[in-house]
Amino acid sequence: MSKRKFNVAVVGATGAVGEQIIGLLEKRDFPVEKLKFLSSARSAGTVLRFKGQEITVEEAGPDSFEGIDIALFSAGGDVSKALAPHAVRHGAVVIDNTNAFRMEETAPLVVPEVNEHMISKHQGIIANPNCSTIQMVAALKPLYDRFGISRIIVSTYQAVSGAGAKAIDEMLRQSKDVLEGREVTPDILPVGSLPVKYQIAFNAVPQIDKFQDNGYTLEEMKMVRETKKIFGDDSIQVTATCVRIPVVYGHSESVYVELKNDYELEEIRDLLSNAPGITLVDDPASQSYPLATDAAGKNDVFVGRLRRDLGNPRGLNLWIVSDNLLKGAAWNAVQIAEIIAAQE
Amino acid sequence: MSKRKFNVAVVGATGAVGEQIIGLLEKRDFPVEKLKFLSSARSAGTVLRFKGQEITVEEAGPDSFEGIDIALFSAGGDVSKALAPHAVRHGAVVIDNTNAFRMEETAPLVVPEVNEHMISKHQGIIANPNCSTIQMVAALKPLYDRFGISRIIVSTYQAVSGAGAKAIDEMLRQSKDVLEGREVTPDILPVGSLPVKYQIAFNAVPQIDKFQDNGYTLEEMKMVRETKKIFGDDSIQVTATCVRIPVVYGHSESVYVELKNDYELEEIRDLLSNAPGITLVDDPASQSYPLATDAAGKNDVFVGRLRRDLGNPRGLNLWIVSDNLLKGAAWNAVQIAEIIAAQE
C-alpha cells in the first residue's frame, strides 16, 4: 500500500453496515487522512468513536463531499441515487452498497476475489453487490476458472440483519414473545414498505424484497443478474429461492452447481483450500461444516458439505456461509477501498 | 368406511408422533374397538386420555400384540426392528413410522396421494416414509403424472420437532439463553448419538442424521431413495441438502424440479389446486405463500412460490411446507390405517 492518505466519507454511518465499515477501517488501519461520518438528519449529531477520537455525524447533503477521496455509501438506494453523483462531482470515488447502480453499465460490480480488474474501469461509482450474491460468487470463482459453470440453483437461509437493525430487534422481540406465551405482532418483515407482515421468529419466510412480474423476488433476481455481471458471462443459468430465517448474523446458502466439465471432488477441495478469502470447512467424520454462528464476525466465506450429485457427474452441492454484514457488505466495500488506495 | 371396528396399538404412545397419532385417531373418529398404548419401560404407567377415557400406557413387548389388528409404530427404528415382526406374527398390520423397513422390498412405502395401490400389497408391514420425503412427493405427484419428472434438487428448512420433544425443549431453552445473554451449551442436536453438538437457536445446521460414506447425510439419502421407491421410478434423479433451522413445527422445502415435457405455469397451478391433500398458496400480489407457522397443526401439504426457471424451460421452482409431525408422520400413518379399515 502506498504512503498516501485519503479523505474518507461514510454515508449511513449509524446504520448496521456503516457501523461495520467504520470498525473495519479502524481494524485494517486504513490510510485515513480525514474521516467524515454522514447520515440522515434524524441521526445527525450522534457521536461515534474512531481510534479513540470522537467524530460527530453530520447530515449528508450535496456539498458534504468536498475534498473527499473515497465515499462509502450504505444508507439505502434513494440516498445513493440522490447523493452519489454529487460525491463524484466533487472528485470522490463512490463505493456503493445499495442496489442503486449495480446494473448500470458504467458502474463496475465488484467482488475482488472474482473481478478485481474491473475496479480501475470505474467512472466514479463502483457498486458493491448484494450480500447473498457476494458470498456465492466468491466461493464459485475457483470452480468457474477451472471447470466453467453452466448453471447454478441456489436456496438461501438469510439472516435478519440483512434487513437492518430494526429487523434484528423485531426478531429478538418476537422470539421473546413466543417463549413467554405472548401474541406476536409482526411489524417490519418480510418487507418494511409492503402491507403484509409475517412472524419471523421460529419461522422461514420465502420473501426477501418485493415480488417482480415474473414471480421472483427482487432479492432472487439480484442473484440472477449480479452473478452474470460479476462473472461477465451471460451464459451462466442462475435460479434462486431466497428465504429469511431466524438467524441474526450470517447468510447460509445451499448451492447446486453444474460444471461444464467433469471433475474430481479432491480437485474441488484443493481449489477451495487455496482460494483467497475462502475457508474450507468440510469434514463429515468430525461433523465439520460451516455454520452461521461460526461465520459471524469473520471476513471470510466458509464452504463445506461438498458432495457430488449422485445422478449428474457434473453436478456438485455446496454449503456456503458468510457474515452478510462483513463480506456481504462492509468488508467487500473496504476491500475495494483498500485496492483503490494501493493503486494510487 | 365399513362398520367393522379394529383393535389398535400405538407403539411410542408418549412420543411426539405418538401423541399426534392418538389425537388424530380421536379427531377422525377412527373405528376403534380396543386401543392399546405401548411404550418403553421408562414411560410405561403414564395415563393418557382418549375420548374421555383414561388409558394406562403399557411396556411394549413381543406379546403385546395379541388380538391387535393395526399397530402404529413410532418409537424408533430399533423398537420397530425388535417388535414389528412380533406384531405381524400376531396377525396385526404394522404401519411403521421409522426407517427400519422403508427400503425392504417386501414393505410398501406409502404416501396415499402417490401410491395408495401399494397398501394392499403388504406382507404385514407398511412403511411410512420420512417426513421430508412425504410432503415433497405428495406435492410433486400431479406434476409427475402429467409431465414426468427427470430430476429434483431440494434444499430443506426442517423443524426441530423432527428430532423429538427433547430437541424442541433444547431449541427453546437455547433461544432463551441467547436472549438473556447466557452461554449456550448444546446437548442433543444435530444428532443425539454423535459426539459433536451445535447450537440450533438462531442458526442453520446442515446436518440431519449421520453422514454416509458418500458425504450425504442419512436424511438426504432417505429423500433420494424413498422418492424413487414411492414413485416406483428409479430414473428420477434426486439430490438433497437437509438443514435444521430454529422452527418448532413445519418443514419447508425449496424444490427445483425438471419436468420431462414443456409446461405452462397455469396448468401447474390448476393441477395443484385440484390435487388431494394439497393446498395451493401462491399469490405474489397479496404476499401469499406457505409458511411453517401457518402449516403447523394442519394435515395438508401447502405449495407456493411457483416460478419458471428463467433459463431452463422445463425447470420449475416450488416452496413446499407441511407439518412434519402430521402429514410428515402421524397423519400419513393414520391415513394408511383409514384406507386399510375401509378395505376390510
ipTM of the complex: 0.97
pLDDT number for residue B3? 77
Active site residue A242: no
CA distance A8 to chain B (A): 35
- State yes or no: A314 annotated in a binding site: no
Residues B190 and B283 in one domain: yes
> Looking at CA atoms only, how far is residue B191 from chain A in angstroms?
10
How close B45 gets to chain A, by Cα (Å)?
A: 30
* B83 and B187 inside one domain: no
Scan residues 291-330 of B and list those with Cβ closer than 8 Å to A.
291-293, 304-312, 315, 317, 319
CATH at residue A294: 3.30.360.10
Query: Which of B198, B243, B289 is closest, CB to CB, to A207?
Result: B289
Q: Does B261 touch chain A (CB under 8 A)?
A: no
Interface check for B153 against chain A (CB to CB < 8 A): the answer is yes
Q: Supply the pLDDT for residue A1.
A: 47
User: Beta strand B6-11 with A47-50: parallel, antiparallel or unpaired?
Assistant: unpaired
CB contact under 8 A, B246 and A243: no
Q: What is the average pLDDT value for chain B, to the nearest integer?
A: 97
Mutation target vs A (from B202, B216, B265, B308; most A CBs, 10 A cutoff): B202
Instruction: List, as own/partner pairs, every contact residues B146-149 make where C-beta atoms lie below 8 angstroms and the sequence separation is at least 24, other chains included.
Output: B146/B263, B146/B267, B146/B271, B147/B259, B147/B260, B147/B261, B147/B263, B147/B314, B148/B259, B148/B260, B148/B261, B149/B231, B149/B236, B149/B257, B149/B258, B149/B259, B149/B260
| Domain membership flag for residue A77 | yes
B contacts of A179 (beta carbons < 8 Å): 172, 175-176, 179
Is A251 noted as a catalytic residue in this protein?
Answer: yes
Indicate the residue of B238, B248, B287 with minimum beta-carbon distance to A194. B287
CA distance, residue B127 to nearest chain A CA (Å): 25
Contact B205 A247 (CB under 8 A): no
Summarize the confidence of residues B127-148 as an average pLDDT: 98
Contact status of A150 with chain B (Cβ, < 8 Å): no
Res B231 pLDDT > 70:
yes
B85 and B141 part of one domain: no
Average pLDDT over residues B258-287: 98
Torsion (CA) A193, A196, A197, A198 in degrees, nearest 10: -140
A to B CB pairs, distance under 8 Å: 173
- For residue A180, the one-letter residue type is E
Interface of A with B in 30-59 (CB under 8 A): none
Give the percent of chain B with pLDDT over 70: 99
Query: Is A149 within a domain?
Result: yes
Q: How many CB atoms lie within 10 A of CB A17?
A: 29
Q: Is residue B1 part of a domain?
A: no
Do residues B10 and B82 both lie within one domain?
A: yes
Residues in chain B: 344
- State residue B275's pLDDT score: 98
Within 164-203 of B, beta carbons closer than 8 Å to A belong to 172, 175-176, 179, 190-191, 194-196, 198-199, 202-203
Which entry of B86, B122, B242, B251 is annotated as an active-site residue? B251
Would you state the pLDDT for residue A2?
54
Q: Which residues of B81-96 are buried (b: 16+ CB within 10 A; e: fewer)?
A: eebbebbbebebbbbb
Three-class DSSP category at A261: coil
In this structure, the strands spanning A125-127 and A149-157 are: unpaired
Residues of chain A with pLDDT under 50: 1
Cβ(A292)–Cβ(A252) below 8 Å: yes
CB of B207 less than 8 A from some CB of A: yes
Domain that holds residue A70: 6-129+329-343
| Residue B203, C-beta contacts closer than 8 angstroms, at least 6 positions apart | A247, A291, A292, A293, B245, B246
Q: Which chain A residue has the Cα nearest residue B287?
A: A196
- Does residue A139 sit in the same domain as residue A60? no
C-beta of residue A12 within 8 angstroms of C-beta of residue A76: yes
Q: Are residues A167 and A118 in the same domain?
A: no
Any domain includes B286: yes
Asked whether residue A98 falls in the same domain as residue A19, the answer is: yes
B68/B196 same-domain check = no
Choose the catalytic residue: A86, A122, A242, A251: A251
Are A305 and A334 part of one and the same domain?
no
Residue A286 sits in the same domain as residue A174: yes
Is position A42 annotated in a ligand binding site?
A: yes
Q: In this complex, which of A199, A292, A311 lies closest to B204 when CB atoms are compared? A: A292
Q: Does B158 show up as a binding residue in the annotation?
A: yes
- Span B86-120, pLDDT tens digits: 999 999 999 999 999 999 999 999 999 999 999 99
Whether A1 is covered by a domain: the verdict is no
Q: Are B254 and A238 a contacting pair at CB < 8 A?
A: no
Tell me what pLDDT residue B1 has: 47
List alpha helices for B57-208, DSSP H: 77-89, 112-115, 131-147, 165-179
Based on the fold, state whether residues A230 and A334 are members of the same structural domain: no
CATH of the domain at B122: 3.40.50.720
CA-to-CA distance for B42 and A238, rounded, in angstroms? 52
Residues B122, B138, single domain; the answer is: no
Give me the number of domains chain A comprises. Answer: 2
